Amino acid sequence: MFRYIKAFLSSKPRLLCIVSSLLFLGAVGAAEFSDAREAQNRARQDAAPKNATKDQNPKNGEVLLLPVQGNISMLAGAGGNITVQAGDNGILLVDTGLATMSVKVLEAIRALSKEPLSYIINTDDRIDHTGGNENIGKTGRPLAFAGAGTRGLIAPDLDEQSQGRFRAPNAFIIAFSTLLDRMSAPAGQVAPVPEGAWPNDTYSEPQKNIYFNGEGIEILHQTANTDGNSMVFFRRSDVISTGDILDPTEYPIIDLKSGGSIQGVIQGLNRLKLMVIPAEHIEGGTVLIPGHGRLCDAADLAEYQQMVTIIRDRIQNMIKSGMTLEQVKAAKPTRDYDPIYGSNTGTWTTDMFVEAVYKSLSSNQDSRASK
């Protein structure tokens, strides 16, 4: 017995050395992982999903069709990510990218199915999500037109107002009702976008369900970047198209004039966290197609949600301490996240994000919601 104790005590320095070495290697490994993670998150819109090789990145002016899982693919490089569901019934798109990319988008999706385009779902009304509505929508036709000799209503579930707007056998364009309000205009006034790009099948309930290509599809309304965001859940494929509620390439866009708020974005991210089911080691499982950038999973979502929540809390505390907008900007509440999500140029800068969060939290609605 004493011999074994003596042997153990004599080996203690060696054990300490081994433990110290392991701790050092672990720290180095963690640092390398952190650096790799940051480099991955720096990818902008033209970056391919995280499992793609470098030569798969779409070049400027090109689009790249990438399989996701189930019968879902992602089209990258069209301005915003486009989700494609293709099958025996036809093709469904979530968002349509920029108008200038419509021809290439149509060429890409034809490789998946010879059947007509039947549905377009818009996640919001930004031009990088709706720009191709008119050009792409007019090439399709509703499912009701697929059979020869179809008569009667175009689709029996459309209300009278939607039926009146549906003048030609184009694809259905589904969106929350407030998007139509902003894209159209009263009679006698000039609309911001052509009528052919308007949603012709709007919904105003919390959720709209459709069944297409053997799959249940949930279209979920969420007030987030605007008051009319939609998330699209493909139940059998276990894929969620998030729109700009999740965008790993930048800070979330908050359109205050269109009813967006920082609280709404966080609520949308929290809702996504409840929907996503990870596989082993938090990798795999439910796949998220964000508004821009690479494919994401539960771990990516948790990281983004934590970042947005932390920045919200920092700015909220600054407001409570009486700091002005300029003082908050000078304090740089996003400094540690700027290398990953920040930008000093472009249509959505870090300063614009901080200002939108400040104004959003200063409003009565968000001040109450964040307490």
- Confidence label for 185 from pLDDT (cuts 50, 70 and 90): confident
The stretch 153-168 carries a mean pLDDT of: 48
* Least confident piece of the model among 117-121, 191-195, 353-357: 191-195
State phi, psi for 118 to the nearest 5 degrees. Answer: -110, -35
Residue 284: predicted pLDDT: 75
Q: Residues 293, 249: contact at Cβ < 8 Å?
A: yes
Q: How confident is the model at residue 356 (pLDDT cuts 50, 70, 90)?
A: very high
Average predicted confidence (pLDDT) for the chain: 82
Strand 90-94 and strand 117-121: pairing?
Answer: parallel
**CA distances, 150 to each of 143, 153, 163, 172, 312 (Å):** 10, 9, 16, 16, 53
pLDDT of residue 169: 65
Cβ atoms 212, 225 nearer than 8 A: no
- Burial class, 200, CB count within 10 angstroms (exposed 0-12 / middle 13-18 / buried 19+): buried
Beta strands across the sheet bearing 90-94:
64-69, 72-76, 82-87, 90-94, 117-121, 172-176, 201-203
Range 206-210 average pLDDT? 97
Residue partners of 345: CB distance under 8 A and separation at least 6: none
Residue 186, pLDDT > 60, answer yes
CA–CA–CA angle 110, 114, 119 (5° rounding): 75
**pLDDT digit string, tens, across residues 69-111:** 999 999 999 999 999 999 999 999 999 999 999 999 999 999 9
Q: What is the pTM of this model?
A: 0.79
In 243-293, which ranges are continuous DSSP H helix?
A: 262-275
d(CA 158, CA 161): 8
At 35, list the tokens.
Answer: 């650096």
pLDDT digits (tens, 9 = 90+) for 14-61: 444 443 444 444 444 444 434 434 444 443 333 333 443 333 456 678
Check if the beta carbon of residue 296 is closer than 8 Å to that of residue 277. Answer: no
Is pLDDT above 90 for 136? yes
Question: What local confidence, expressed as pLDDT, does residue 58 receive?
Answer: 66
Residue 259 has a pLDDT of 96
pLDDT for 147 equals 40
Neighbours of 313 (CB within 10 A): 13
Q: For residue 45, what pLDDT is reported?
A: 37
- pLDDT category at 298 given cuts 50, 70, 90 is very high
CB 308 within 8 A of CB 252: yes
What amino acid is encoded at 171 in this protein? A
Other C-beta atoms within 10 Å of 193: how many?
Answer: 18
What the block records as the tokens of 232 is: 């699209």
Asked if residue 117 has pLDDT above 90, the reply is yes
What pLDDT is recorded for position 271?
98
Structural domains present in the chain: 45-297 (3.60.15.10)
Q: What is the model's pLDDT at position 107?
A: 94
pLDDT > 90 in the chain, percent: 69
What is the distance between the alpha carbons of residues 261 and 169, in angstroms, rounded to a whole number? 37
pLDDT band at residue 170 using 50, 70 and 90 as cut-offs = confident
pLDDT, mean of residues 64-72: 96
Residue 96 CB partners (closer than 8 Å, separation 6+): 78, 82, 102, 105, 120, 122, 129, 130, 131, 132, 133, 135, 136, 137
HSE (side-chain half, CA atoms, 13 Å) at 344: 4
- C-alpha span between 199 and 347 (Å, rounded): 25
